[in-house]
Amino acid sequence: MPALASHRKPRPRVRSAAPVVGLTSAALATVTLLSSQSATAAPAPKPSIEDVQRKVDDLYRQAGTATQKYNQAKEAADKQRTKVDTLLEDVAKRTAKLNDARRTLGNYAAAQYRDGALAPTATFFLADNPQSFFDQTHLMNRMADRQQQAVDEFRTQQAKASKQRAQAVESLETLTESQTALRTSKQNVQNKLTEARTLLSKLTAEEKARLAELERKKEAEAKRKAEELAKKQAAAKKEAERKAKESGGGTETGSGSGSDSGSSASTKAEKVLAFARAQIGKPYVWGATGPSSYDCSGLTQAAWKAAGVDIPRTTWDQVNVGTRIATADLQPGDLVFFYDDISHVGIYKGDGMMIHAPKPGANVREESIYYMPIYGSVRPA
């Protein structure tokens, strides 16, 4: 008997997993090799002292900008707080008036409830005589007028009180926003200063010595430029005096009123500088306006206030006060501003030098105006 043909489907041949194992092993070997290479790779090059100096200077400049934002936010918050206090006081007064009007209305309502009301015809017949009726009617009309005035007064006081409450709420919201901006600016200042201090703390003693040497060179170059400016200003002054003498006007020029004006400006400048010199040695503290410490714009504001001139709080506002002055035409008492973002200011004392509150960790001191990039200068008065 012939054998029956098998109807089973042939099984597919399963490939060996060996190649996969081989691939995995190769991949692991590659990862291990890369890891070894990464571990043995050279670390990132350490920044040069020049780079560190630039970075630290930039961080202090950024801290100066953040300080001006803090000053601006604090000024706005102080003004808004004063406005809110005034509004709340007005609301309290208005509420008292509203309560007085409410009591007056209540008295009228109580009187009308007690006395009741009769129709005019009944009142006429119950009156002793017609004249008495008309007198009583006139009196009632006057009382009705007073009642209407009381109602009008109540409505007026109610509307004003409602309006002032809305203003107070709006002002409180603005105050909250100003306080939030104040906290943000304060944190930004602290962050920049912390970053600068951290960067400096990582330097070795040798690196710190090299950094100090770079600072000395920078100061020497700034002083050299100041001396050049002093020579140019002295020469310009001498030439002006010579021309004035040749013209027969002596050293005084202009009209009498012009001379008086110049004398007044000179007196103010002397007071500004006298105040500024008295602050030398006091520490820089961001946000400070004296008397024991200052930031840059706090010092300039206090100095000019000592001369009887009020100037704004921040460098951004101070730069817009008075008359713009070219660097070559600077006179003692003028304000010199620095950096493109106008984040620093000093008081010109003459001979290319200024008195300023430099930065955290430093004291109020004299320094060349060329120590930092000059933005521009103004003469407040």
The catalytic residue positions are 296, 344, 356
State both tokens at 176: 């909250």
Chain-centre distance for alpha carbon 221:
33
The DSSP annotation for 56-116 comes to HHHHHHHHHHHHHHHHHHHHHHHHHHHHHHHHHHHHHHHHHHHHHHHHHHHHHHHHHHHH-
Question: Which amino acid belongs to residue 113?
Answer: Y
**Which is nearest to 160 in space by CA: 84, 103, 91, 85?**
91
- Yes or no: say if 71 and 346 are a contact pair by the CB < 8 Å rule: no
Residues 206, 211, 215, 218: is their CA dihedral positive or negative?
Answer: positive
106 vs 126: CA distance, rounded Å: 29
CB contact set of 128 (below 8 Å; sequence gap of 6+): none
Q: What is the distance in angstroms between the CA of the first residue and the CA of the last residue of the chain?
A: 131
In the numeric block, the tokens 């820089």 are attached to: 284
In the numeric block, the tokens 């955290």 are attached to: 360
In which order are the strands placed within the sheet that holds 365-368? Answer: 323-325, 374-379, 335-338, 344-350, 353-356, 365-368
Question: Which amino acid belongs to residue 9?
Answer: K
**Which is nearest to 65 in space by CA: 179, 185, 184, 187?**
185
State both tokens at 143: 């009382």
